[in-house]
Structure 1
Amino acid sequence: MEFSFPFFHGKITRRTCEELLSKKKKNGSYLIRESESVEGALCLCVFFEDLTYTYRIFREHQGYFRIQTSEGVPERMFKTLKDLIYAFEKPNQGLITNLRYPVKKPKALRRSQRIKSGMDNIYDEADDSDGYVTVLP
């Protein structure tokens, strides 16, 4: 599974994930990684009060994404991962806290992956000072 989000870390261990999230100690920090235990599933990992909460994301056969949130909260389907992230940036959606601070993959790793996937360095010209790239419609 290949995603080009800066907060998609691919195959990192749960331990590495927890280290990355706890570095900043900011409630609402999050990243997405591939699940170690469930083949093909993703994990949305969210930092809150010194703990990392993990929510599984499954890719459905129609290409939709389904996320398992808290007990008793209906499962929701999203057309894209971006839609899923947008939905959970709002408070009280069934996660321990809303998503606030995407934890980006270290630049060196992003670059080597990009070369492997054959993409050219489209982000190299962008001014990375505030971590946002403006995309015009």
Structure 2
Amino acid sequence: MELPFYHGNITRKTCEELLSKKGKDGSFLLRESESMAGALCLCVFFEQLIYTYRIFRESEDVPKRVFKTIKDLIYAYEKPNQGLVVNLRYPVRRPKPPRRRIRKSKVEGDGDYDGKRFISVFLA
């Protein structure tokens, strides 16, 4: 899922830490449910508490408010008075993976080995 606020398979504890760090009412993120396979959790920060709303794929035995996409769901709940404790206002983006930097080092001696030049590469 390519949504910047989708954090995938993170723990509830990690989720709470991320939202508490943001610390703004209406901050939210989306993660995989730990206890229900296939379900998602929309987690929302409000008045120092984290509220979790489960999102299910369509099923017969679940009360329905149906959305075609997650983007449609988020857009609907960004508006006030839609049934959440607070409307969604501040997406908590997942951290970008660390960039791998390549550093070149000096090569000792003349750098030749069987007529080929080598550069040492270190990944930081």
Aligned to 1:8: 6
Aligned to 1:77: 66
Which structure shows the higher helix fraction? 1
| Root-mean-square deviation over aligned CA pairs | 1.7
Residue 28 of structure 2 is aligned to residue 39 of structure 1: no
Give 1:108 shift: 1.2
Aligned to 1:114: none
Per-residue Cα deviation, 1:107-129 (whole angstroms, up to 9, x for no partner): 117x8xxxxxxxxxxxxxxxxxx
Q: Report the secondary structure of 1:83's partner residue.
A: helix
Give 1:59 shift: 1.3
Query: More relative contact order in 1 or in 2 (CA 8 Å, sep 6+)?
Result: 2
Instruction: Give the aligned residue type for 1:51.
Output: L
- After TM superposition, the score normalised by the length of structure 2 is 0.74
Q: Distance in 1 between matches of 2:33 and 2:56?
A: 10
Instruction: Give the aligned residue type for 1:104.
Output: R
Q: Distance in 1 between matches of 2:89 and 2:64?
A: 21
Q: Report the secondary structure of 1:86's partner residue.
A: helix
Ranges in structure 2 where 5+ consecutive residues have no aligned partner: 100-124
Instruction: Give the aligned residue type for 1:8.
Output: Y
* Among candidates 84, 88, 96, match of residue 95 of structure 1: 84
Ranges in structure 1 where 5+ consecutive residues have no aligned partner: 62-67, 69-73, 112-137
Where has structure 1 moved over 4 Å in runs of 4 or more?
Answer: none
Identity %: 73
Give 1:75 shift: 3.3
Instruction: Give the aligned residue type for 2:3.
Output: F
Aligned to 1:131: none
Give 1:27 shift: 0.2
